[in-house]
Amino acid sequence: MNFVVIGGDAAGMSAASRAKRNNPDLNVTVLEKTMDVSYSACGMPYNIADPGREIEELVVRQAHVFREKQDINLLTGHCVESVDPVGRIVSGTSLQGKAFDVNYDKLLIATGASPIIPDLEGFDHPEVFALKSLDDGRKLKAYIQSHNVKKVVIIGMGYIALEMCEALRARSIDVDMVKPRPVFLPWMEKELADVVKNEAETHQIKLYLGHTIEKIDVENKRLKVICSDLVLEADMVLVAIGIKPNNELAIQASLDLGVKNAIAVNKKLQTSNENIYAAGDCCDAYHVVTGEKAWIPLALRANRAGWAAADNVCGKSVELPGIAGTAVFKVFDLEVARTGLTVDEASHFGFDPVKVMIKARSRAHAHPGASVIHVQMVGDRRTGRLLGAQMLGKEGVAHRINAPAVALHNRMTVEDYCQTDLAYAPPFGPTWDPTLTAANQLLKKI
């Protein structure tokens, strides 16, 4: 049987490796349009922060290892341009300009997502960058290395933008951030978002909210980001306003699309054509709290979906329950995390949300060095279910969010959560874990 995978990063290479492990006799071909496979995009901001590290360190497994040790027919520099679901053939062109056709019995689309670049004047200047692929990171880092970059304007204020503002400050580069919407981290409770905003500003990041970007001009090698009521000068611009799923092949093959135009898949990762699977950033997933489809493009679910698609291709029957939208990122000295639904999302999905906001300590009462952990928790008044949590602090946040995340997967009530036996020792938190304190308070309100 021929199993063909389009896309050679997190979802695609996880699927190819898993399929070969499951069934060493399977013919597995991976078609990757770039020359890079299996790398950690998530590590790019931290790598860019450090001029002493090679960007190539982010490659998790080299292409030759997949070819020689795992017997995977990995074809880099092969861009797939069309899928014929009737003849079961994918076609495209190699970087050398040669046309190719590959037959499949089962196909996995793992084409990821692309950065959104506004269709405005000046966004095609060579000093305007996006950060999605390893090659984006390679070019951006090389540019900083070889040019005297003193000032960067970042368009966007999402998690990648915030990770990058820290990376650039680590290289003593001044950073302005600008975006059209007036609200900083709109998904976050304002009280918490203000803490993150303050953290960025404390590190000399200038934040310009509510400015519509009109174009980018270049004058004497200096860029000018022109907004309706503001001009920001820079040596380099980073566009980080979000990503969109790479769904072109699915559209061309008449597959159904789902949320945010991501490729629609069932819990087995099958698209609307039973022989074509999709995994990772290009497709949607079920949300474990709402039971509805969601598009939350993150790394773990891409890897896991790759495994599940491969298992199903190999004849095991695997269904993924879904995602809780658990995410964490770092901004300077702050850890910022969330899982599940915000109050607005909970209302949108028909829940009757109740929330609490508490502050706790990151270490026990008499233990030195404690800092504040902010916890916001959301529950449903009607069913008592826990619906979501947000958290931030200087320590003890990133992994603490995993407890409410597991509770969401198990559809626990707030009352159930209050009874969980969470770990305690003075260096790691108070006797009552901050999430338990929040849950106890929330229970009183439900």
Chosen residue from 2, 22, 23, 34 binding ligand FAD by CB under 6 A: 34
Chosen residue from 17, 47, 246, 435 binding ligand FAD by CB under 6 A: 246
Q: Which helix (H) or strand (E) holds 114?
A: strand 113-115
Residues 89-118 that bind ligand FAD (CB under 6 A): 110-113
| Catalytic residue check, 283 | no
Give the separation between CA 428 and CA 120, rounded to whole angstroms: 49
User: For ligand FAD, which stretch binds (CB under 6 A), given 32-40, 185-193, 260-268, 401-409?
Assistant: 32-40
Chosen residue from 176, 235, 281, 311 binding ligand FAD by CB under 6 A: 281
Please provide the DSSP assignment of 128-194 as one string.
Answer: EE---SHHHHHHHHHHHHHTT--EEEEE--SHHHHHHHHHHHHTT-EEEEEESSSSSSTTS-HHHHH
Q: Which is nearer to ligand FAD, 9 or 345 (CB)?
A: 9
Asked if residue 254 lies in contact with residue 184, where contact means CB atoms within 8 angstroms, the answer is: no
Q: Which amino acid is at 97?
A: G
Task: State the nearest-atom distance from the C-beta of 92 to ligand FAD, in Å.
Answer: 6
Asked if residue 175 lies in contact with residue 169, where contact means CB atoms within 8 angstroms, the answer is: yes
Strands 334-340 and 386-393, bridge-based pairing: antiparallel
User: For ligand FAD, which stretch binds (CB under 6 A), given 3-11, 230-238, 369-377, 421-429?
Assistant: 3-11
- The Cβ of residue 189 has, within 10 Å, a number of other Cβ atoms equal to 19
Task: State the nearest-atom distance from the C-beta of 44 to ligand FAD, in Å.
Answer: 5
Residues 41-60 that bind ligand FAD (CB under 6 A): 41-42, 44-45
> What ranges make up the beta strands (E) of 191-229?
206-209, 213-219, 222-227
Does 245 bind ligand FAD (CB under 6 A)? Our answer is no
Does 127 bind ligand FAD (CB under 6 A)? Our answer is no
Give the separation between CA 297 and CA 413, rounded to whole angstroms: 27
Among positive and negative, which fits the CA dihedral 87, 88, 93, 99?
Answer: negative
Task: State the nearest-atom distance from the C-beta of 108 to ligand FAD, in Å.
Answer: 10
Give the separation between CA 396 and CA 393, rounded to whole angstroms: 7
Q: Which is nearer to ligand FAD, 41 or 403 (CB)?
A: 41
Chosen residue from 72, 192, 294, 298 binding ligand FAD by CB under 6 A: 298
Site string for ligand FAD, 148-187 (x = CB under 6 A): ------------x---------------------------
Q: Enumerate the active-site residues.
A: 42
In the complex, the residues that contact ligand FAD under the rule CB under 6 A are 6-12, 31-34, 41-42, 44-45, 79-80, 110-113, 131-132, 160, 246, 249, 280-281, 297-300, 302
